[in-house]
Amino acid sequence: PMNHGALLTATQMEALRDSLGIGPGAEWERFPDSSPEGKWIRERPAPFRSPARHVEAPELPETLEESYPETSSSQEAFGRALARLARLPVGAHVVTLSADVAVTTHLGAWITRTGVYSPTARPDFFADVPQAVPWRESPRGRHIELGIAEHNLFLALGAFGLATELTGVPLFPIGTLYDPFVTRGLDALYHALYAGGRFIVAATPSGVSLSPEGGAHQSVITPGIGIALPALAYYEPAFALEVEWILLDGLRGLLDRERGESLYLRLSTKPVAQSLAPAASEEYRAQVLRGGYRLIDARAEPGWDPEDSAVSIFAAGVMVPEAVEAARALRAEGILASLFVVTSPDRLYRGLRESRPYLEQLVTSEEEGVPIVSVLDGHSHGLAFLGSALGVPQIPLGVDHFGQSGGRSDLYAHYGIDGAGIARAVRTLLAR
């Protein structure tokens, strides 16, 4: 009974089939409706039978028309986008789940409007006390709080992510947890995707940008997980509007039961000046969804020489301000850096299989041979494929060791991912 390696031969399978009274070629046919087995199955609820009803998928808006502060973190933008969804008809199909961190992952406004799910209504003993987030529990609530149970979170996301197949009712499951705790539930996440569940994971905060809390709450290897997991699109947006666009695109992907994928948003609590972002446009939006865009173009600068003074900096997520700082400092030295914002290392990597990869459209033919410095708040290997894909030298920067507690600027300097560290890597690269 413990021999997991036994494989039945074709002869043994035929003997088993004959003993069960199953004819050749009928091994996978359903039980006849008139049979005791067929009758038993018809009397059972899903998943033993097909959904009894079909609910039309809700219409998704092209834009949320949400406003964002001049300085905003990607996590705050996520919370604002969700709060806006709660006020739209599509919000009735959204279910949020959290592993103990509902408020600290910016679900407060959503919960205030939609309530917390409980099989029975529970009294609010603090109703007369001012609360930042009213915790009203009832069967009408659309947030599920799981406590410190990341494995259960992904099991639940997988189940809700199959609601269309199991019940005929399309749902948009959105789960939140701290990014470093993705690894706690990784087995459940893997198999939720493998089973065909469609859902959104917002993992935040991430990286060493959550500086005071130390290594236990700082994620390093999760970019690699996002790139490697099948059926999961991994994004790491830099600006608030990018979060909105990616979230809406991710919701559309959940409705595509054939080709759609789940979405992994790696977010941060680090405030970023939105003035650094390009002006909103359809081209900008399309490039964000494809995996990246050019933020600083140095090609027209006097003295730009692809063989001498030029460099390309690729920065993901919250590292964009530091990359801008480095580009400005280098310009004063006569080193001209073009800056590319990577919104999805996953999309860029997968795009290398295309006949004309998107990465080769971002970087033009006149930039052939221009070396690369890449930077992200995670393990440096997450962007280390760029140089080999373009056939140029590269120094990949990131967090390649355990996190530490400290000021954000101090930690960035320690790991060499601050503006000075990026500029230093560029000088090293050009001196080779």
What ranges do the domains of the chain cover? Answer: 10-42, 71-272, 291-430
Q: Identify whether the C-beta of residue 342 lies closer than 8 Å to the C-beta of residue 376.
A: yes
Q: pLDDT tens digits, residue range 83-94?
A: 999 999 999 999
Region of 46 (left: φ > 0; alpha: ψ -120 to 50; beta: rest) is beta
CA dist 160 and 157 (Å) reads 5
pLDDT band of 7, cuts 50, 70, 90: confident
Q: What pLDDT score does 276 carry? A: 98
Give the position of tokens 């600083």. 296
Is the predicted pLDDT of residue 131 greater than 90, yes or no? Answer: no
Q: What is the rounded CA–CA span in Å between residue 187 and residue 222?
A: 14
Question: From CA 415, how far away is CA 322, in angstroms rounded?
Answer: 13
Class of 71-272 in CATH: alpha beta
- State mean pLDDT over 228-234: 98
| Span of 129-138, 163-172, 355-364, 369-378 with lowest mean pLDDT | 129-138
CA distance 178 to 222: 11
SS3 173: strand
Report the length, in residues, of the chain: 432
In this structure, the number of other CB atoms found within 10 A of the CB of residue 122 comes to 13
**Residues in a beta bridge with 262:** 232
Strands 262-266 and 200-203, by their bridges, are parallel
For residue 372, the 8-state DSSP code is E
Burial class (CB in 10 A: 0-12, 13-18, 19+), 413: middle
What does the alpha-carbon distance between residue 208 and residue 398 come to, in Å, rounded to a whole number?
A: 10
Q: Which residue, among 101, 30, 44, 89, has the nearest Cα to 267 in the 3D structure?
A: 101
Any idea which fold 291-430 has?
Rossmann fold (3.40.50)
pLDDT score of 285 more than 70: yes
Instruction: Determine the Cα–Cα distance for residues 113 and 188; give it in Å rounded to an integer.
Output: 30
Q: In the beta sheet, which residues pair with residue 117?
A: 138
**Burial track 182-204 (b if 16+ CB lie within 10 A, e otherwise):** bebbbebbbebbeeebbbbbbbb
| Rounded Cα gap, residues 153 and 150, in angstroms | 5
**Would you say residue 288 has pLDDT above 80?**
yes
Q: Say whether pLDDT at 373 is over 70.
A: yes
Tokens of 316: 């993901």
For residue 1, pLDDT beyond 60: no
Phi, psi of 264 (to 5 degrees): -115, 110
Confidence of residue 56 (pLDDT cuts 50, 70, 90): confident
pLDDT in tens, 244-267: 999 999 999 999 999 999 999 999
CB atoms closer than 10 angstroms to residue 276: 16
Amino acid, res. 158 = G
Q: Left (φ > 0), alpha (ψ -120 to 50) or beta: where does 273 sit?
A: beta
Would you say the CATH fold of 291-430 matches that of 71-272?
yes
User: Is the confidence at residue 387, as pLDDT, over 60?
Assistant: yes
Q: Are 379 and 399 in contact (CB under 8 A)?
A: yes
Residue 428 dihedral angles phi and psi, to the nearest 5°: -60, -45
CB-CB contact of 372 with 394 (8 Å): yes
Rounded-to-integer distance, Cα 248 and Cα 174, Å: 12
Residue 341 has pLDDT above 70, yes or no: yes
Query: Do strands 137-138 and 200-203 pair parallel, antiparallel, or not at all (unpaired)?
Result: unpaired
Strand-pair category, 272-273 with 232-235: unpaired
pLDDT of 55 > 90? The answer is no
Residue 81: pLDDT above 60?
yes
Going by pLDDT thresholds of 50, 70 and 90, the confidence category of residue 47 is low
Give the pLDDT band of residue 210 (cuts 50, 70, 90): confident
CB 201 within 8 A of CB 175: yes
Q: Which of 50-64, 129-143, 272-286 has the highest mean pLDDT?
A: 272-286
